[in-house]
Structure 1
Amino acid sequence: MLLFLLSANFSDCFCAPQLEGHLDQTLVAQHLTKNQQRAYAELLKLRPEPARALLRTEQPRSAGTLLVADCIDFTELMISQDANRYAAVVQAQDERLATLAESPEPGPLRAYARAEIRLHQAAAQVAFEHEVQGAWSLRQAYQQMQATVKRYPDYLPARKTLGMMQFFIGALPEGYRWFLKLLGLAGSVEVGLQNLRVAAQRPNDFQTEAQIILALIHETYYKQGEESSRFIQQLTQQQSDNLLFAYLAISINKRLHHTDQALAAYRSRPSGAGYLPIAYLHHMVADLLLYQGQYAASQRENLLFLQEYRGTHYRKDAAFKLYLASWLSGDQASAERYRRQIDAAGRTVLEEDTYAQRFFDDQQPLNRTLTRARLQIDGGYYREALTTLESFATTAHTSLRDRLEAPYRRARAYHGLQQLDSARYFYARTVALAGDAPYYFAPQSALQLGYLYQMQGQTRLAKTYFQKALTYPKHEYKNSTDTKAKLALESIKQ
């Protein structure tokens, strides 16, 4: 289910039982067979065909074989985003679920496999625009996983998946409450983390998966990126032939603004026969090269991405980045062609695509100096960004957007340099200037001020700014900003 977390951006109704259960140990000891474990290990390396080959010697109707086989199909579908595979994958899931429903196989693995495959199906249905079916499948998966944990409280894989669902359902912004109520779902961030920690700390067939999910949550929502990065680096050192671990190293270093490390991880990634092609890697690397000002190389990578990718997400974002590379390199004809391409293809489900579409719709020209500074900051080149910003000056004709972006970029650069007094000053200036302007600079500034004051132990001020971040109307990054502010407020209460 790790690929569900990597590909999706989803009061507690489950009270976590104590670990000291009194179960029949023949049930508790039920695991994947050695061959099934090896197949799953190959899948975690993103080597689906070697994984399938290992399963061919296994009992085809056993719960472990059905589960790992479904993980293989699901991983290929979600990474490729190939709509031509969707119907066959869902049909195979239905057949596996029917086989498990009729199986006399006892123990927790069968119950877990049913709930896990149903959750795979929910993720696939939502990803391929069958949202109603996906919502119903999610409800079934959640209830089945709850029942599995209740019956087998010591079966840690079920705690891993239930904990993940509890966390993400509990973390959803308030705007989704009506949807959750309609489905009869309630999550809990605290209980979800508790279940994930248990599954991550104690040996089980899916312990590594639980550890990775927990590390990604800590990095994304709790400002523990360096710790999570070190953990991912340890994994890549232990398994240099693991493409998933290399992908995670690239991704987490990119989010932490460690461009050089991310590019090094990309260049040393394993490749060759058996590995699943990941078109999205080209898109990530295109961003990294854009941060460095390597515009032609960035264009080549995004064009490769658009050529190889089968999905509908990130297409608008790729066209926007192609526009930026052409525009910043002085190729106005290509820039205009890519600008029009933003509106021509793809969806606006993801925030990156929404931002690109808004740029197209607003028809408001970007400021070249601020854009260069933004890319330098995204790449972790903070001193260079401050040097770039020195050439920016407002005039009577400067747009409100640019007037807000300038102090925000300075705040981000000073924050990256750990010059926190200067960062706080420019974040506060952005908030004061913004009013109700429909841009993300002020809500992001409020969020960052909350983090800075929380780090200093000034919880009252931190709470004030987290709450303020939630008050801004719809902006490009509202969902992720609101989720982070909500989780930060919950952490203050604890």
Structure 2
Amino acid sequence: MRFIFIIAFIVTIPFSADARQRKFEMNARCQQAYDAIMQLRLKTGLALLEEEKRSNPDNLIPYFLDNYADFFTLFFNEDPAVYGQRKKERAARLNLMAEGPSDSPYYLYTQAAIKFQWALVRVKFGEKWDAVWEVRKAYQTLKENQRKFPSFPLNNMLIGSMQTVFGTIPEGYKWITNTLGMRGSIREGMRLLNGVIASNDPIAQMFREESYYYYCYLKLFVENKPEQLWQFVQQKQLDTRNNYLFALMVANLSMNNQKAAQGIRVLEECNNGPEYAEIHYRNYVMGLLKLERQDDDAIQYLEKFVQNFRGKFYLKEALQRLSWAYYLKGDMTTANRYRQMIPQRGSLETDADKQAQKEAKAGTWPNPLLLRARLLSDGGFYTQARDLLQHKRAQDFPTISEKLEFGYRLGRIYDEMGMDTNAIRLYEATIRIGTNRPEHFAARSALQMGYIYEKMGDKVKARQSFQTCLDMVGHDYKNSLDQRAKAGLLRLDGK
């Protein structure tokens, strides 16, 4: 579900269209409101929109941007009370957009974007099938708009991103996209998106930062090219200090690419004072990053998150991390208290939340040495992690699960340090022992071996490794690992 952050930042802005009544007019005040909302300065943006409604009542843009403000609030904070209050606005705004001039490319585009935004919100509130059908409606509306206005760049920005994501869906779930008529292709999707980024079209340039969001997430999670991702972030000089949304994006990408120090720095340096929306997700990300760096105040951020967050995503994982933090401090009373909360709070929508629940119900605690090495490695502190493990052997650990984790963990450290031969040797040993076990270590080892061979240009061994990952069943993180392995195979096929 983390990947959900790839499509969470959809931005669509209509331009002026001649019409006697309703119109799509992106004037200076609406542009200012849009910029403020996209920086998560929601109060400022909404105030500007109210001014526009009073002075230019036929303009539909303010109502469209209202939806964006609601989207960010609901998607990030997941407050069911706010959801109940704002849910009725979806139909009202779609009806308003339908009153606009149909000869404008924004006529269908705004409707598609609203549908898609609410699909993502519905996912957060457990309305899965409604969300699927909402995505289908959005996709079909966009394709129709693309047929009518093939040169309209915002079509390609959104369709390209959607097609790239659809292209990674594992074979076992392909029937869903085939039935719904949503075809995927990584190559074609990225071609469309890159076209928008490179375009000199004034509209494409106006929304170029939005295309940057898609590019960054897809580069990491689908194309698996982190070097190109960070080079892009540096070249474009993304303003993570004043754009809170950019700061959250870079911190999230850092968390998923073993760059805890970078993520912490970005969140510490960004402006998130009273003018910015209160986003509880920030405390979750900061808490995880600081725990990986073994900072004492990691607990402070995680506790603030679980105390204030009203949603269900990430909660079980956050509680698990809190229990780990106290466990490593030797405070078993508090560690057990947080562990006991895991089955009662949150949901099982993400693989990480599922794994947290499974561990809590098992009643066993991780090996403290392996846990510290895991956290340090996940944060990118490879030398410290290696120093903890390099003088150990698999036989030093009493259970098969710990032996598997040791092999995978040390292999992953060597992998990240560029020591491919050592990494492959440990990955292969983990696969031999762990293929039919419930832990994810063997499947993740196969996936990582696929990445190594892909980097080497050995397509045969890369394909074998990705397929090995897909063939394993009944293990933790099955959905997310399968999606990444599927993306690897598609890259090898040039699709």
Amino acid at match of 2:50: R
- For the Cα contact (< 8 Å) 1:316–1:342, is it kept in 2? yes
Matched, 1:138 2:138: no
Which residue pairs with 1:438 in the alignment? 438
The DSSP-based 3-state class of the residue aligned with 1:385 is helix
Which residue pairs with 1:21 in the alignment? none
For residues 383 and 3 of structure 2, the distance between their equivalents in structure 1, rounded to whole angstroms, comes to: 36
Which residue pairs with 1:303 in the alignment? 303
Amino acid at match of 1:32: M
For residues 397 and 158 of structure 1, the distance between their equivalents in structure 2, rounded to whole angstroms, comes to: 54
- For the Cα contact (< 8 Å) 1:250–1:265, is it kept in 2? yes
Which residue pairs with 2:125 in the alignment? 128
For residues 237 and 142 of structure 1, the distance between their equivalents in structure 2, rounded to whole angstroms, comes to: 29
The DSSP-based 3-state class of the residue aligned with 1:102 is coil
CA apart distance, 1:396: 9.0
Which residue pairs with 2:288 in the alignment? 287
Amino acid at match of 2:260: T
Using CA pairs below 8 Å that are at least 6 residues apart, which structure has the higher relative contact order? 2
Count matched residues.
Answer: 475
For residues 63 and 269 of structure 2, the distance between their equivalents in structure 1, rounded to whole angstroms, comes to: 33
CA apart distance, 1:222: 2.0
Which digits, 9 at most, give the CA deviation of each residue in 1:48-69, with x for residues without a partner?
A: 1111122234334534333222
Which residue pairs with 2:325 in the alignment? 325
- For the Cα contact (< 8 Å) 1:447–1:481, is it kept in 2? yes
For residues 247 and 111 of structure 2, the distance between their equivalents in structure 1, rounded to whole angstroms, comes to: 30
- Aligned pairs for 1:4-43 (under 5 A) are 5-6=5-6, 32-43=26-37
For residues 138 and 100 of structure 2, the distance between their equivalents in structure 1, rounded to whole angstroms, comes to: 18
Aligned CA distance change for structure 1 residues 435 and 255 (closer, same or farther; 3 Å): closer
Which residue pairs with 2:381 in the alignment? 381
- For the Cα contact (< 8 Å) 1:236–1:246, is it kept in 2? no
Which residue pairs with 2:262 in the alignment? 261
Aligned CA distance change for structure 1 residues 162 and 347 (closer, same or farther; 3 Å): same
TM-score, length basis structure 2: 0.90
Aligned with 1:75 (options 69, 72, 76): 72
Matched, 1:418 2:415: no
Aligned CA distance change for structure 1 residues 26 and 453 (closer, same or farther; 3 Å): farther
Aligned CA distance change for structure 1 residues 394 and 419 (closer, same or farther; 3 Å): closer
Q: Which segment is superposed worse, 32-41 or 159-168?
A: 32-41
Which residue pairs with 1:19 in the alignment? none
For residues 207 and 341 of structure 2, the distance between their equivalents in structure 1, rounded to whole angstroms, comes to: 42
Matched, 1:151 2:145: no
For residues 104 and 445 of structure 1, the distance between their equivalents in structure 2, rounded to whole angstroms, comes to: 54
Aligned CA distance change for structure 1 residues 256 and 440 (closer, same or farther; 3 Å): same
Amino acid at match of 1:168: V
Which residue pairs with 1:222 in the alignment? 223
- For the Cα contact (< 8 Å) 2:283–2:304, is it kept in 1? yes
Q: Which segment is superposed worse, 88-97 or 402-411?
A: 88-97
Matched, 1:162 2:159: yes
Q: Which segment is superposed worse, 203-212 or 261-270?
A: 203-212
Aligned CA distance change for structure 1 residues 419 and 491 (closer, same or farther; 3 Å): same
For residues 39 and 184 of structure 2, the distance between their equivalents in structure 1, rounded to whole angstroms, comes to: 31
Which residue pairs with 1:213 in the alignment? 214
TM-score, length basis structure 1: 0.90
The DSSP-based 3-state class of the residue aligned with 2:88 is helix
CA apart distance, 1:341: 1.2
For residues 4 and 92 of structure 1, the distance between their equivalents in structure 2, rounded to whole angstroms, comes to: 23
For residues 147 and 421 of structure 1, the distance between their equivalents in structure 2, rounded to whole angstroms, comes to: 51
Amino acid at match of 1:40: Y
For residues 393 and 403 of structure 1, the distance between their equivalents in structure 2, rounded to whole angstroms, comes to: 8
Q: Runs of 4 or more off by more than 6 Å in structure 1?
A: none
CA apart distance, 1:393: 4.5
For residues 397 and 442 of structure 2, the distance between their equivalents in structure 1, rounded to whole angstroms, comes to: 21
CA apart distance, 1:268: 0.5
- RMSD of aligned Cα (Å): 2.4
Which residue pairs with 1:467 in the alignment? 467
Which digits, 9 at most, give the CA deviation of each residue in 1:326-380, with x for residues without a partner?
A: 1111111111111111112110101111110111123333111111111111111
Which digits, 9 at most, give the CA deviation of each residue in 1:455-490, with x for residues without a partner?
A: 111111111111111011132222221111111111
Amino acid at match of 1:42: A
Amino acid at match of 1:302: L
Amino acid at match of 1:209: E
For residues 178 and 379 of structure 2, the distance between their equivalents in structure 1, rounded to whole angstroms, comes to: 41
Matched, 1:53 2:54: no
Q: Which runs of 5+ in 2 are unaligned?
A: 10-16
Which residue pairs with 2:83 in the alignment? 86
Which residue pairs with 1:450 in the alignment? 450
Which digits, 9 at most, give the CA deviation of each residue in 1:90-145, with x for residues without a partner?
A: 31121111122233453101221011111112222222122232222221111101
Aligned CA distance change for structure 1 residues 347 and 7 (closer, same or farther; 3 Å): farther
For residues 26 and 212 of structure 2, the distance between their equivalents in structure 1, rounded to whole angstroms, comes to: 19
Aligned CA distance change for structure 1 residues 228 and 31 (closer, same or farther; 3 Å): farther
Aligned CA distance change for structure 1 residues 474 and 34 (closer, same or farther; 3 Å): farther
CA apart distance, 1:183: 2.8
For residues 233 and 403 of structure 1, the distance between their equivalents in structure 2, rounded to whole angstroms, comes to: 40
- For the Cα contact (< 8 Å) 1:463–1:489, is it kept in 2? yes
Aligned with 1:62 (options 51, 59, 63): 59
- For the Cα contact (< 8 Å) 1:319–1:342, is it kept in 2? yes
Aligned CA distance change for structure 1 residues 340 and 376 (closer, same or farther; 3 Å): same
- For the Cα contact (< 8 Å) 2:390–2:410, is it kept in 1? no
For residues 189 and 196 of structure 2, the distance between their equivalents in structure 1, rounded to whole angstroms, comes to: 11
For residues 396 and 369 of structure 2, the distance between their equivalents in structure 1, rounded to whole angstroms, comes to: 17
Aligned with 2:196 (options 196, 199, 204): 199
- For the Cα contact (< 8 Å) 1:112–1:158, is it kept in 2? yes
- For the Cα contact (< 8 Å) 1:236–1:242, is it kept in 2? no
Amino acid at match of 1:303: E
Which digits, 9 at most, give the CA deviation of each residue in 1:169-216, with x for residues without a partner?
A: 222112222333443433332222222122222242422111221121
- For the Cα contact (< 8 Å) 2:404–2:434, is it kept in 1? yes
- For the Cα contact (< 8 Å) 2:157–2:196, is it kept in 1? yes
The DSSP-based 3-state class of the residue aligned with 1:273 is coil
For residues 139 and 60 of structure 1, the distance between their equivalents in structure 2, rounded to whole angstroms, comes to: 32
Amino acid at match of 2:96: T
Q: Which segment is superposed worse, 199-208 or 472-481?
A: 199-208
- For the Cα contact (< 8 Å) 2:6–2:213, is it kept in 1? no
Which residue pairs with 1:171 in the alignment? 168
- For the Cα contact (< 8 Å) 1:412–1:423, is it kept in 2? yes
Aligned with 2:38 (options 41, 44, 47): 44
Which residue pairs with 1:313 in the alignment? 313
